[in-house]
Amino acid sequence: MNKKTFTFFPEDPAQTVRIKRFLMALGSYAMWVVLCTVCILQGFTRFTLKDLYALSAVVMLFNAGIYLLLRTGWNKRFKDPSLTMFQMILATMWIMVCLYGAGEIRSSMLMLYFVVFVFGVFRLRFLQFLVVSVFAIANYAVVVYLVYRFHPGEVNLKVELINIMLLATVLPWFSLLGSYITNLRTTIAKALETIEKLAVTDELTGVYNRRRLLEILKEQKAFCDRGNKVFSLCIIDLDHFKSVNDNFGHETGDIVLRGVAQTLKQNIRDFDIIARYGGEEFMLVLCSTNGAEALTFAERVREIAENMRFENHDHVRITLSVGVAEYRPTESFQATINRADKALYRVKENGRNRVEFERYAESKQMYLF
């Protein structure tokens, strides 16, 4: 039995992206520790190096917990699996501690808030940004109060009031801008998804187009050649489809094509493929299926088609002619297509509404593809 070895990144691409963002945030913590160390060595803060490293250890413990949530997949149970808002609030609390001990450079360290808010652009909506903004402003107000209470000589209330006003103005504005960027990213992602879908999908029927079909056949051939597996092809033709267009109109013809495509799709297995091969022809790629099994399936599909009814077009009846061929390892997939096409041609010669199979031995031509 092969033991699974631990990998830092999971196999799930989405989880890998989330962990990479988490590592970017972790890099920010490392940057802050370096800056705080410099400030301590220069005497700008009341913290000692021992205090800093103790606080850093606590922060790292929290981040280790976040990594475990991401790596084990438990984060998927939350509404935001990226845990963006939680990580931003944790970072904001860390900044609060740094500001409390910052002394005279407190105003300069306010810039750390903007490092945190940049990460919200990955995910947060406006209201979420606003919540974090209010939390950050309230944190800073608490810091000012605590410093004033315990170290009154370090506080210039006029300056701190200006700092709070600046945060109250800039952070909500940043929230608005950040949410706009988030929405823009979402819109672009959806547009790209639509474009990718259109590139491989037949617009009329909603099944794969010929371009994607050929890519799938190349993949199937490579897979089968490696493992001595087989797959079978069924080329399906709608009998006398031209008469449907001529007698009932092209709109009805489109309804029939969509209906047949969706019926075929509903009757194949999840890992089988259906594509529009051209005009009124469809092709089924039946994975891990030999010729005999493909023949049985094709006959069942043919019978289903005979009983098909189209919404608001009960007067339309169709039948299917099906040519079947089984792929043999090392032959070109084009040769398999040609054999299925030859079987389909034989069906049409023999009266249509039938299923025919073309054996490998009957093919006399070799195709280099």
Residue type, 127: L
Which is catalytic among the residues 160, 280, 281, 326?
280
- CB-based contacts of 57, cutoff 8 Å, min separation 6: none
Q: Is 325 helix (H, G, I), strand (E, B) or coil?
A: strand
Phi, psi dihedrals of residue 198, rounded to the nearest 5°: -65, -30
Say if strands 281-287 and 273-278 run parallel, antiparallel, or are unpaired: antiparallel
Report the C-alpha gap between 87 and 256 in whole angstroms. 53
Angle between helices 49-72 and 84-100 (to 10 degrees): 180
Q: Is 273 helix (H, G, I), strand (E, B) or coil?
A: strand
| CB-CB contact of 335 with 302 (8 Å) | no
Which residue spans within 261-352 are E strands per DSSP?
Answer: 273-278, 281-287, 320-326
Report the C-alpha gap between 186 and 126 in whole angstroms. 14
Q: Which of 93, 138, 133 has its CA nearest to residue 114? A: 133
| CB-CB contact of 236 with 321 (8 Å) | yes
| Ramachandran region, residue 99 (left: φ > 0; alpha: ψ -120 to 50; beta: rest) | alpha
The answer to whether 280 is a known catalytic residue is: yes
N-to-C CA span, the chain: 39
Report the C-alpha gap between 64 and 69 in whole angstroms. 9
| CB-CB contact of 233 with 337 (8 Å) | yes
Q: Which of 33, 38, 43 has its CA nearest to residue 97? A: 33
Q: Give the residue numbers annotated as catalytic, written as ranges.
A: 280
